[in-house]
Amino acid sequence: MKRAIYPGSFDPVTFGHMDIIKRAAIMFDEVVVAVLDNKAKTSLFSVEERVKMLQKVTEDVPNVRVDSFYGLLINYAARENIHVAIRGLRAVTDFEYELQIAQTNKLLSKGSLDTVFLTTDLKYAYLSSSGVKEIAYFDGDISECVPPYVEEKVLEKYRELRMNQKNR
Ligand code: PNS
């Protein structure tokens, strides 16, 4: 069985991520979308919220499973017996960062974890989770960037944060 892991922050999942997930799901028997539980990085959504959003937006892709992991990707991949990591490349600007992650994983895993890059569909080449958050923060329209369920959750989150700020 050919299995792959698609790791990331997914804060939140965008149409760009979904494009990669769906294409990877055609190439592999099972794709595990793994949300990094990174305490050092401030995120808009909790790991549980990100996992739930991913589960919801991939519910029509039967060979996709969503999980979260803490620590090194190579350790999680080894526990799951997965030897291929998937990453998306939007533009040449992503390359250096991605190459560094891929080479590090290959070295640390002693060759056990390789990386397959999928080039993001051109229509999503401009998309990033941080861009989505900035647009939503300033009340812009994110409906072209994320699925309706995620849009709802992002707007809800900013409404919540604004309420909390007001009540302080
Ligand atoms: O969506 P992101 O934030 O670009 O994803 C980065 C991610 C999660 C793939 C990367 O930071 C990662 O795998 N972190 C886990 C820790 C790890 O294994 N580090 C060694 C490779 S850099």
Using the atom order of ligand 1, give the atom closest to the CA of residue 7: 9
Spatial CA neighbour of 7 closest among 86, 82, 72, 71: 86
> Does the residue 165 lie in any domain?
no
The enclosing domain of 7 has a CATH number of 3.40.50.620
Token duo for residue 19: 């494009």
> Does the residue 134 lie in any domain?
no
> Does the residue 131 lie in any domain?
no
> Residue 4 has what DSSP assignment?
E
pLDDT in tens, 110-160: 999 999 999 999 999 999 999 999 999 999 999 999 999 999 999 999 999
Token duo for residue 101: 């992650």
> Does the residue 69 lie in any domain?
yes
User: In terms of residue numbers, what domain contains 30?
Assistant: 3-125
Q: Phi/psi at 135 (nearest 5 deg)?
A: -60, -45
Spatial CA neighbour of 152 closest among 61, 64, 52, 85: 52
Centre of ligand 1 from the C-alpha of residue 114, in Å? 14
The count of domains in the chain is 1
Residue-level pLDDT at 165: 83
3-8: strand order across its sheet: 64-69, 30-36, 3-8, 84-89, 114-119
Amino acid at site 86: I
Angle at which helices 73-80 and 92-108 pack, to 10 degrees?
60
User: Confidence band (pLDDT; 50, 70, 90) for 163?
Assistant: confident
Using the atom order of ligand 1, give the atom closest to the CA of residue 75: 18
Centre of ligand 1 from the C-alpha of residue 36, in Å? 7
> Does the residue 96 lie in any domain?
yes
Q: Pick the residue whose CA is nearest to atom 13 on ligand 1.
A: 73
Using the atom order of ligand 1, give the atom closest to the CA of residue 71: 16
Centre of ligand 1 from the C-alpha of residue 72, in Å? 8
Question: Longest C-alpha distance within the chain, in Å?
Answer: 53
Token duo for residue 41: 């990085």
> Does the residue 76 lie in any domain?
yes
Lining ligand 1 with CB less than 6 A are 7-9, 36, 72-73, 101, 104-105
